[in-house]
Structure 1
Amino acid sequence: MILVTGATGAVGREVAGLLAAAGPVRILARRPERLTVRGPEAEVVAGEYADRPALDRALNGVTSVFLVTNSPTEPDDERVATAAAAAGVRHLVKLSMMAVEEPGADDFITRRQRENEQAVRESGVPWTFVRPRTFMSNTLSWAPGIRSSGVVRALYGDAPVACIDPRDVAAVAVGVLTGTGHEGKAYAVSGPEAITAREQTAQLSRALGRPLRFEELGPDAARAALLAKYPRPVAEAFLESAERQLAGAKAAVVPTVHDVTGSEARPFRTWAADHKDAFAPVQR
């Protein structure tokens, strides 16, 4: 039995769906009503990482775990890894981020992910880290502006990033969870090309069949927008990450998707075409 966490998120829901299509899977969910993966093959355990009895129930009889955490302050990786060790789990596959292996990345979020990876290593459970680059689905944050005025507003429109379709990250994770010989390895995962926000806007425009305009935000405006949504350390981490992207630190393409799954990584234009309805004007 494989346990999937984070199954309401961009990657976790895809992992759970792929596994459920092939056989039984167990899902730990803080809010089960938000799950999109349902059916006789998907067993759901309601609970959260801080609830050790719920964790123990979810881990009972489990051989492998797909771990997704997102709290910048809670020790959730340590909680799950400790409980997994006690339950006799044989493989823990953690969704991390590519920046952890890059010496120039020293923002708050990256430092926390390094600490989280270390907690998993120290648990004694055989581990694999899946370290994706920026998700293509992050552009969904542009949807309100596109729907209302046909405008994308973002920081550094000409900064390249080899962004990745969450479906491809999930395929790599499932390959690692169901395959052999992956323990003790870390897989950097990127898309097939480096693309800028300005180029993404043009490709979304073609997918939607309507003109879109890109407006570059200045650092001060971007900081204000981020601080309206996130705590200061997180907002500043995003800004530091954007500076690294501007310097070209996120443009490298790696062949991991093909190496693990046998399929090519999807380009952004494919993701845009498949998700164009999310950017379409609301029908009244």
Structure 2
Amino acid sequence: MTGASGTVGREVVRRLPPQHTVRVMTRRPDTYRHTRPGTQVVGGDFTDEDSLARAVRGVTAAFLVTSPLTTGWDERFLHAAHRARVEHVVKLSAAAVLDPGADDTITRRQRTCEYLLRTSGLAWTLLRPRAYMSNTLTWAHTIRTQHTVHALHHTSPVACIDPRDIADVAAHTLTQPQHTGHAYQLTGPTPLTPLQQTTTLAHLLGHPLHCHEQGEHNARTTWRTTYPEPIVQALLHRARRQQAGTKTHTHTTTITHTTGHPARTYTTWATDHLTHFT
């Protein structure tokens, strides 16, 4: 398991059947906390080939999560996995790779990483989710302090997905061989705008919330304090495509067939995480 401290990865660890031994690779093994029996924690870094070789030694299946903002991580991991004779790699990618109009830096890198896996000689599965419902946790502070949501485009729809649904599919694909050679697009059941999500949160919280449209100028200014300019431009490109309605298609069949339950709604996600907003 890579990315086991992340939004999806930590949920995958919880869902893996108890008969499987799970090895978590992390740069800081002394800080990783888990309660799952049969979990090994090892130090590893995508920039350190020796640590990757140690991490994948004896592994049969791997869950690969890397940042699309970096280069070399997937290459080094897949090289180590191939040498260690890892049987199957499940890669967390993104639905944007299927959009021919998506030509930003982040999406191009994701396509490259998918290609590296498909041509690595390893058995593979690709998971391509839409935006996570948990992204709205970035609103928690202003909801608590100002009863306000700041969204780039408040009427921009996306078929966002509960990260737990991604984790459910990942746990199945890691442990069942019939998923090798498949790429799965994963979404929530309904496209939603920030304004609709704000309305849902207001109903659950029991008080009004205001959804303020941030606009591209303010978003660009904020992002530039954290990201280099090519990434800022990529984020703006992706936001414009979402505003144009390119991220509204729903694909929930895989979730239902693989996990046995329908894709979770935003209301379900928000109800289960409501304490973050109070």
TM-score of the alignment, normalized to the shorter chain, above 0.5: yes
Aligned to 2:270: 272
AA aligned opposite 2:171:
V
Q: Give the alignment partner of residue 244 of structure 1, picking from 241, 245, 249.
A: 241
Give 1:73 shift: 2.5
Check if 1:263 corresponds to 2:261.
Answer: yes
AA aligned opposite 1:196:
T
Give 1:60 shift: 1.2
Give 1:147 shift: 1.5
Equivalent residues of 2:158, 2:247 under 8 A apart? yes
SS at 1:199 equivalent:
helix
Check if 1:91 corresponds to 2:84.
Answer: no
AA aligned opposite 2:230:
P
* Shift in CA distance, 39/257, structure 1 to aligned 2, threshold 3 Å: closer
Aligned to 1:194: 191
How do 1:176-215 residues align onto structure 2 when only pairs under 5 Å count?
176-215=173-212
Give 1:260 shift: 1.7
> What TM-score comes out, normalization by structure 1 length?
0.94
Distance (Å, rounded) in 2 between the aligned partners of 1:226 and 1:34: 29
Check if 1:6 corresponds to 2:3.
Answer: yes
SS at 1:271 equivalent:
helix
Equivalent residues of 1:20, 1:42 under 8 A apart? no
SS at 2:35 equivalent:
coil
> What TM-score comes out, normalization by structure 2 length?
0.96
Aligned to 1:108: 105
Distance (Å, rounded) in 1 between the aligned partners of 2:17 and 2:42: 15
Check if 1:134 corresponds to 2:155.
Answer: no
How do 1:112-123 residues align onto structure 2 when only pairs under 5 Å count?
112-123=109-120
Check if 1:62 corresponds to 2:59.
Answer: yes
SS at 1:181 equivalent:
helix
Distance (Å, rounded) in 2 between the aligned partners of 1:190 and 1:36: 29
Check if 1:230 corresponds to 2:236.
Answer: no
Judge which range, 232-241 or 184-193, deviates more.
232-241
Judge which range, 165-174 or 46-55, deviates more.
46-55
Give the CA RMSD over aligned residues.
Answer: 1.4
Distance (Å, rounded) in 1 between the aligned partners of 2:36 and 2:258: 28
How do 1:18-97 residues align onto structure 2 when only pairs under 5 Å count?
18-19=15-16, 21=18, 23-97=20-94
AA aligned opposite 2:34:
V
Count of residue pairs the alignment pairs up: 277
SS at 2:256 equivalent:
helix
Aligned to 1:170: 167
Equivalent residues of 2:68, 2:106 under 8 A apart? no
Equivalent residues of 2:68, 2:110 under 8 A apart? no
Distance (Å, rounded) in 2 between the aligned partners of 1:237 and 1:220: 14
Equivalent residues of 1:52, 1:83 under 8 A apart? yes
Percent identity among equivalent residues?
A: 47
Unmatched runs of 5 consecutive residues or more in structure 2:
none
Equivalent residues of 2:161, 2:186 under 8 A apart? yes
